[in-house]
């Protein structure tokens, strides 16, 4: 399996599939998952002749379980090293949830010299937590309860998230997929306890407002209007207004994991945006 040795000696796991000479699409996963979360999209675009790249963030999946550096600035520095290592240019970046924040912060910090387009799927930008200036955000007490549940029984907490709000399986009449639940839970449990805990603060309290304003390339925002994890009104609806070249598509009834439950539709939207 391919690994990149990072500046601090940590190993970063990545996948590189498809046509090595094709246009590049990169994927940044959400909390507390891994690159496996995007396997459907990666396989689909690889079959279409694209070069697809995804990594497990430090602390996640098969990457090193570092004690420090479980924060957005470290994550994007790692990603910059990966892009340099793999000679990524003229790419389209795709990020889900916290990975959407990673895409926004990467472009805000490093610019768009390597990237031509971006897609935020159920992304956390501009800001998740409720503040005086962000009335539509989620109260901090919710994330305090996440931290408490992680410390008390992480395995059960992650199972509850996957079985309920992440996929909308707690909605009346929802058809549960035991496979999706188990796959999500497995990814979450492969992430280190420390990264799981630290990233609750990172994804909820990092403000991406200024990053979004600086992104001078086309950005497609995909968001479900029944996202119980990162509500559309507080995230996708605001992000598209801050992006200079933002384009929005709302998935009616869509949950937080639209790239998993609405994979065919998301795949088509990604391909159409690539080709546009």
Tell me the pLDDT tens digit for each residue of 159-192.
999 999 999 999 999 999 999 999 999 999 999 9
Instruction: For residue 36, give the nearest of 236, 222, 190, 230 by alpha carbon.
Output: 190
Environment class of 33 (CB within 10 Å of its CB; exposed 0-12, middle 13-18, buried 19+): buried
| pLDDT tens digit sequence for 79-137 | 999 999 999 999 999 999 999 999 999 999 999 999 999 999 999 999 999 999 899 99
Q: Three-state DSSP class for 17?
A: strand
* CATH architecture, range 3-275: 3-Layer(aba) Sandwich (3.40)
Sheet of strand 219-224, all strands in order from the earlier edge strand to the far edge = 3-5, 11-18, 51-55, 24-28, 91-96, 115-121, 219-224, 246-251
pLDDT category at 202 given cuts 50, 70, 90 is very high
User: According to the model, what pLDDT value does residue 212 have?
Assistant: 98
Q: What is the pTM of this model?
A: 0.97
User: What is the set of active-site residues?
Assistant: 97, 227, 256
CA angle 147, 97, 130 (to 5 degrees): 55
Using a CB cutoff of 8 Å and minimum separation of 24, what contacts does 9-13 make? 10/58, 10/63, 10/64, 10/66, 10/69, 11/63, 11/64, 12/55, 12/56, 12/58, 12/63, 12/64, 12/78, 12/81, 12/82, 13/55, 13/56, 13/61, 13/62, 13/63
The predicted model gives 250-263 an average pLDDT of: 98
| pLDDT tens digit sequence for 9-46 | 999 999 999 999 999 999 999 999 999 999 999 999 99
The predicted model gives 204-232 an average pLDDT of: 98
Mode of pairing for the β-strands spanning 11-18 and 51-55 = antiparallel
Distance CA 69, CA 147 (A): 18
Buried b / exposed e along 79-89 (16+ C-beta atoms within 10 A): beebbeebebe
Percent of the chain with pLDDT over 70: 100
Residue pair 16/80 in contact (Cβ under 8 Å)? The answer is no
Sorted by where each begins, the domain ranges of the chain are 3-275
**Average pLDDT taken over every residue of the chain:** 97
Cα separation values, 90 from 115, 141, 271, Å: 5, 41, 16
Residue pair 25/91 in contact (Cβ under 8 Å)? The answer is yes
């Amino acid at each position: 399996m391919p690994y990149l040795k990072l500046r601090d000696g940590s190993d970063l796991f990545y996948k590189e599939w498809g046509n090595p000479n094709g246009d590049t699409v990169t994927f940044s996963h959400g909390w507390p998952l891994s690159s496996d979360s995007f396997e459907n999209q990666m396989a689909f675009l690889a079959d279409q002749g694209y070069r697809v790249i995804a990594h497990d963030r430090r602390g996640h999946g098969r990457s090193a379980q570092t004690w420090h550096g479980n924060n957005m600035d470290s994550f994007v520095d790692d990603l910059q090293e990966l892009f340099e290592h793999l000679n990524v240019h003229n790419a389209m970046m795709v990020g889900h949830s916290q990975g959407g924040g990673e895409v926004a912060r990467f472009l805000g910090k490093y610019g768009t010299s390597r990237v031509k387009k971006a897609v935020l799927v159920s992304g956390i930008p501009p800001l998740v937590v409720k503040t005086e200036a962000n009335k539509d955000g989620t109260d901090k007490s919710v994330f305090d309860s996440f931290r408490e549940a992680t410390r008390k029984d992480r395995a059960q907490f992650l199972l509850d998230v996957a079985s309920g709000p992440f996929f909308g399986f707690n909605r009346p009449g929802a058809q549960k997929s035991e496979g999706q639940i188990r796959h999500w839970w497995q990814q979450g449990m492969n992430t280190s306890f420390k990264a799981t805990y630290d990233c609750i603060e990172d994804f909820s309290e990092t403000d991406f407002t200024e990053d979004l304003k600086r992104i001078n390339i086309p950005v497609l925002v995909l968001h479900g209007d029944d996202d119980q994890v990162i509500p559309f009104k507080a995230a996708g609806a605001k992000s598209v207004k801050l992006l200079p070249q933002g384009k929005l598509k709302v998935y009616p009834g869509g949950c937080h994991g639209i790239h998993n439950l609405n994979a065919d539709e998301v795949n088509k939207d990604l391909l159409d945006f690539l080709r546009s």
